[in-house]
Amino acid sequence: MTTRTLSPAAYDKLTTTVARETGERRTSALWSHAAALVRHAHEHGLAPAGHRPSGPDGLLKSLEELAGCHPALAPLADPAVLPLREQPLGSAAWTAIEEFWDRHPALEGAHRVDGYALGDTYQLLSDEARKGRALCQTPPWVARLLLRLSLEPAIEEWGPADVRMIDPACGTGHIAVAAFHMVRVPPVRSRRPAPVGHGPRAVERALAAVSGVDLDAYAAALTAYRLLACSASVLGVRLDQIPASLPVNVAAADSLLDRTEPLLAGGAYHACVANPPYITPKDATVRDRVRAAYPQVAVGKYSLALPFTALMLEHLAAPGGFVAQLTANSFMKREFGRRYVTEFLPRFDARWIIDTSGAYIPGHGTPTCILVHRARPPVGDTVTVIRGNRGEPHVPDDPARGLVWRAIEEAVDSRLAWDRFRAGTDRARREEGHTDVAHWGFSM
């Protein structure tokens, strides 16, 4: 199957067309996307046996079947998450949806079940999720870099059998899915052997290691679906053959304010990885509640990214845990960031500051940076900073291969190679009985 990319305007047009029958755009986007999700399950042989039923009633029946496959998929039949029956579809809207997905099989080829395109299409269809909650997919190549700087060293330190990570703003799960694969097939460098192979125990272990929470209940359900789709594909089974006991740690909750959600328990994670929302809360009540809960960072017209940093560093991370985020760099230039920069961040062990403002990251119109800290007071005297010189000369055909992004990855690679070399020589000298370990200088 080939994947043809349609313009964002084509998705908008579909939402508008379907909304003529549903009455409003939110449900229109949900109907359209649920149809894509059911196609994904059927086209990849993941749905319970049988043909993909047609028509709106058939879609509702398929969603119920999927919901029955695993407890984590129950939200797909929950009217509070997918209020489809309240705003039924007529035949014209249904035909528009079917024709759209026929023309645009944006569900990846048969060999890809990760559902990246499925996540991206939700963002494209739902302006309510984009504008209301700042849903903006984290491209897989950005997710991979964030995980290399956080989950990968956490796996080395705590071991693949014990490591736990969370994305507290998981959206449709781009970071969570990449983390699942990183734990399932741990980096070869890990000095602690993985106690499990690549079969059912590896899948169970990887699922247990990864958690995701999002305010958007449908996005959270998509994350759960994608984690289970990957698991079923690795195990070579359908979703209804997956044991209900396999853990899927995904929840719909307000990560900043909910203190009852078990996945948001304090000190539970060796890696917290996020591309948090950068917007200022629009609702005055929410704005004040967040300000009251995070007075150390939520100052003035604060961006939500700041309380998310505090959530991860002060609450979710285990002592010494890694916290990596792709975030807006507005805190460096605006008044609301003053206390964050001068009082809050210096309390933690900064590892990496990477200027990504020159890189072309689709959907991220705001200039960004990557911050990586460890949840402990500063250690040592080195923070690795990758400074930007200039932006992309033009929009790259493949953003993952853009000049700026590749330069960033190369700088990260050489720094990590140096760190590993130095750790190896330190270890060798210690084993030879030297106690005074000399370090050579390194500049980038």
For residue 348, give both structure tokens: 């933690």
Select the span of 16-24, 191-199, 250-258, 381-389 touching ligand SAM (CB under 6 A). Answer: 250-258
392 binds ligand SAM (CB under 6 A): no
For 57, residues 6+ apart whose C-beta sits below 8 A from its C-beta are none
Of 115, 119, 358, 367, the one binding ligand SAM (CB under 6 A) is 119
Residues 17-56 that bind ligand SAM (CB under 6 A): none
Tokens 């956080």 — which residue?
150
115 binds ligand SAM (CB under 6 A): no
CB of residue 132 to ligand SAM, shortest distance in Å: 8
Q: DSSP readout, 253-264?
A: S-TTT-SS-GGG
Q: DSSP readout, 324-363?
A: EEEEEGGGGTSGGGHHIIIIIGGGSEEEEEEE-TTS--TT
CB of residue 261 to ligand SAM, shortest distance in Å: 10
171 binds ligand SAM (CB under 6 A): yes
CB of residue 172 to ligand SAM, shortest distance in Å: 4
Select the span of 26-34, 130-138, 230-238, 428-436 touching ligand SAM (CB under 6 A). Answer: 130-138
Q: Rounded to 5 degrees, what angle do the CA atoms 63, 126, 95 make?
A: 55
Q: For residue 270, what is the enclosing H or E element?
A: strand 269-274
CB of residue 96 to ligand SAM, shortest distance in Å: 26
- Decide whether 135 or 250 has the Cβ nearer to ligand SAM: 135
Of 42, 44, 70, 133, the one binding ligand SAM (CB under 6 A) is 133
Residues 174-193 that bind ligand SAM (CB under 6 A): 174-175
Would you say how long the chain is, in residues?
444
In the complex, which residue's CB is closest to ligand SAM?
171
Select the span of 35-43, 148-156, 163-171, 397-405 touching ligand SAM (CB under 6 A). Answer: 163-171
Tokens 């739902």 — which residue?
126
CB of residue 328 to ligand SAM, shortest distance in Å: 10
Of 73, 124, 135, 145, the one binding ligand SAM (CB under 6 A) is 135
For residues 420 and 414, the answer to whether their CB atoms sit within 8 Å is no
Of 115, 186, 277, 402, the one binding ligand SAM (CB under 6 A) is 277
For 288, residues 6+ apart whose C-beta sits below 8 A from its C-beta are none
For residues 296 and 310, the answer to whether their CB atoms sit within 8 Å is yes
Q: How many chain residues are in contact with ligand SAM, going by CB under 6 A?
A: 24
- Decide whether 304 or 318 has the Cβ nearer to ligand SAM: 304
Select the span of 146-154, 171-179, 190-198, 316-324 touching ligand SAM (CB under 6 A). Answer: 171-179
Residues 331-350 that bind ligand SAM (CB under 6 A): none
Q: DSSP readout, 97-148?
A: HHHHHHH---S--TT--S-HHHHHHHHHH-HIIIIIH------HHHHHHHHH
Select the span of 34-42, 79-87, 167-175, 406-414 touching ligand SAM (CB under 6 A). Answer: 167-175
- Decide whether 155 or 312 has the Cβ nearer to ligand SAM: 312
| Residue ranges of E strands in 164-232 | 165-167, 210-214
CB of residue 195 to ligand SAM, shortest distance in Å: 29
204 binds ligand SAM (CB under 6 A): no
Residues 256-275 that bind ligand SAM (CB under 6 A): 256, 275
Give Cα 244 to chain centroid, integer Å.
Answer: 24
Q: 3-class SS at 432?
A: coil
214 binds ligand SAM (CB under 6 A): yes
CB of residue 329 to ligand SAM, shortest distance in Å: 15
For residue 307, give both structure tokens: 């309380």
Q: How far apart are CA 351 and CA 416, in angstroms?
A: 12
For residues 124 and 8, the answer to whether their CB atoms sit within 8 Å is yes
Closest CA to 166 of 273, 276, 321: 273
255 binds ligand SAM (CB under 6 A): yes
Phi/psi of residue 317, each to 5°? -75, 140
For 435, residues 6+ apart whose C-beta sits below 8 A from its C-beta are none
- Decide whether 18 or 129 has the Cβ nearer to ligand SAM: 129
Q: How far apart are CA 379 and CA 353, in angstroms?
A: 16
Footprint of ligand SAM on this chain (CB under 6 A)? 119, 133-138, 169-175, 213-216, 219, 254-256, 275, 277
